[in-house]
């Protein structure tokens, strides 16, 4: 009994935000940890993600060893001076408190995605970045979902680490944080004290993962079955849509891109493309990569794989026929290319979308 009390007393000394309930004989296996989870809420954040995470964590409380418990205590913290937040699509949200008034150190801090004006939002995120850094230094686990990971990057928490975000925001992330290795195909990344989810709905997988880490796999499986969630979600690359970079102003390269996309069956090479847009072969590769961020060979492969995805989604052509349509001869090598870029095999992709 004395040893058990010493354990509890020591644990509370290092984890001030953890409340322990001991029942009768202080059996350690009956000790229930209540974990404080603070979801940071700000203007233009995803209300869908916030309400979804609240629902998932509170439902997880119902499935712990088949009993109704309160393992996760979820609170919403506004980054405004008041508790009122104007979420995406002008949806109002009234939080429990603000980051300026809340005087505890939560076990977990969750940053939801930004749905509007990402660049503008992170340029005005100094106060929330400072607060998150303070919580991190006091041993809170920081969790970013979707484009909320921009705020983690802005706070400097991702320096020297791999990161993920929504596939559609990957180019912006790379431009703003070139020193961070972005793995935008990842649905989930775990760096211990920092967790990240990728695209919009990946917060679901992230919450199930958190439940599994804190409450066990049995509880996570029960939650995923109740919520009809897939615990083994495909990589983001299976959902991403490739649309080549065309915001540059190099007319010759734009013409080359159009040729590649319009004439899919053509077996394009630099030697064929360069003369068609009046650029020397020597300079074509450099100009193309400067304009699009990819070499001509990489761009050609991505365009052909994107076309193959479209055929798999909308037609009943065999894979071998699709390979011919996109200008490849070896179906084996194209299957390998498709799987590497998309993250799942062509047959898996067709079953998913056709």
The model's pLDDT over 307-352, given as tens digits with 9 standing for 90+, comes to 998 899 889 999 999 999 999 989 999 999 999 988 889 999 898 7
Kindly state the tokens that stand for 68: 């109704």
Q: In whole numbers, what is the pLDDT of the chain averaged over residues?
A: 85
Q: Considering only 9-18, 80-89, 159-168, which range has the smallest mean pLDDT? A: 9-18
Around 102, how many Cα atoms within 13 Å sit in the side-chain half-sphere?
Answer: 29
Q: Considering only 24-33, 34-43, 292-301, 334-343, which range has the smallest mean pLDDT? A: 24-33
**CA atoms of 52 and 225, how far apart (whole Å):** 16
**Single pTM value for the model:** 0.67
Among candidates 312, 300, 182, 296, which has minimal Cα distance to 238?
Answer: 312
pLDDT value for 233: 63
142: β partners: 109, 194
Pick the residue with more confidence: 54 or 15? 54
Pick the residue with more confidence: 221 or 145? 145
Above 60 in pLDDT, residue 22? no
**CA atoms of 264 and 327, how far apart (whole Å):** 6
Average pLDDT over residues 154-166: 94
CATH 3.40.50.880 domain extents, the chain: 31-233
pLDDT value for 152: 97
pLDDT value for 219: 86
pLDDT in tens, 79-137: 999 999 999 999 999 999 999 999 999 999 999 999 988 999 999 899 999 999 999 99
40: β partners: 77
CATH superfamily of 251-353: Homeodomain-like (1.10.10.60)
Q: Considering only 96-100, 244-248, 263-267, 347-351, which range has the smallest mean pLDDT? A: 244-248
Above 70 in pLDDT, residue 20? no
Pick the residue with more confidence: 20 or 265? 265
Q: SS3 for 231? A: coil
Q: Considering only 3-17, 98-112, 224-238, which range has the smallest mean pLDDT? A: 3-17
Q: 31-34 — which CB contacts under 8 Å span 24+ positions?
A: 32/69, 32/70, 32/71, 33/71, 33/214, 34/70, 34/71, 34/72, 34/73
Average pLDDT over residues 291-318: 91
Is 31-233 in CATH node 3.65.10.10?
A: no
Pick the residue with more confidence: 40 or 243? 40
CATH 1.10.10.60 domain extents, the chain: 251-353
């Amino acid at each position: 009994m004395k040893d058990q009390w010493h354990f509890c007393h020591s644990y509370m000394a290092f984890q001030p935000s953890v409340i322990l309930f001991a029942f009768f004989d202080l059996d350690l296996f009956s000790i229930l940890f209540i974990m404080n989870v603070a979801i940071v809420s700000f203007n233009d954040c995803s209300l869908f993600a916030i309400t979804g995470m609240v629902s998932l964590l509170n439902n997880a409380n119902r499935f712990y060893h088949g009993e109704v418990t309160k393992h996760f205590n979820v609170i919403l913290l506004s980054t405004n001076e008041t508790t009122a937040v104007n979420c995406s699509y002008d949806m109002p949200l009234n939080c429990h408190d603000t980051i300026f008034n809340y005087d505890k150190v939560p076990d977990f801090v969750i940053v939801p995605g930004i749905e509007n004006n990402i660049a503008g939002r992170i340029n005005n995120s100094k106060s929330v970045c400072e607060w998150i850094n303070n919580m991190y230094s006091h041993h809170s686990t920081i969790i970013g979902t979707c484009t909320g990971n921009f705020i983690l990057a802005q706070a400097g928490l991702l320096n020297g680490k791999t990161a993920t975000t929504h596939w559609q925001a990957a180019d912006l992330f790379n431009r703003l944080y070139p020193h961070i290795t972005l793995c935008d195909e990842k649905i989930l990344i775990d760096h211990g004290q920092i967790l990240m989810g990728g695209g919009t709905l990946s917060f679901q997988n992230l919450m199930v993962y958190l439940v599994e880490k804190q409450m066990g796999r049995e509880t996570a499986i029960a939650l995923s079955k109740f919520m009809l969630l897939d615990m083994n979600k495909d990589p983001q690359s299976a959902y991403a849509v490739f649309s080549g970079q065309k915001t540059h102003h190099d007319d010759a390269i734009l013409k080359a891109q159009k040729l590649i996309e319009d004439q899919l069956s053509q077996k394009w090479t630099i030697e064929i493309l360069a003369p068609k847009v009046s650029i020397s072969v020597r300079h074509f590769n450099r100009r193309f990569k400067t304009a699009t961020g990819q070499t001509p060979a990489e761009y050609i492969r991505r365009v052909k794989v994107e076309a193959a995805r479209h055929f798999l989604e909308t037609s009943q052509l065999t894979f071998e026929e699709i390979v011919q349509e996109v200008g490849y001869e070896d179906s084996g090598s194209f299957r390998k290319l498709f799987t590497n870029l998309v993250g799942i095999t062509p047959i898996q992709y067709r079953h998913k979308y056709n």
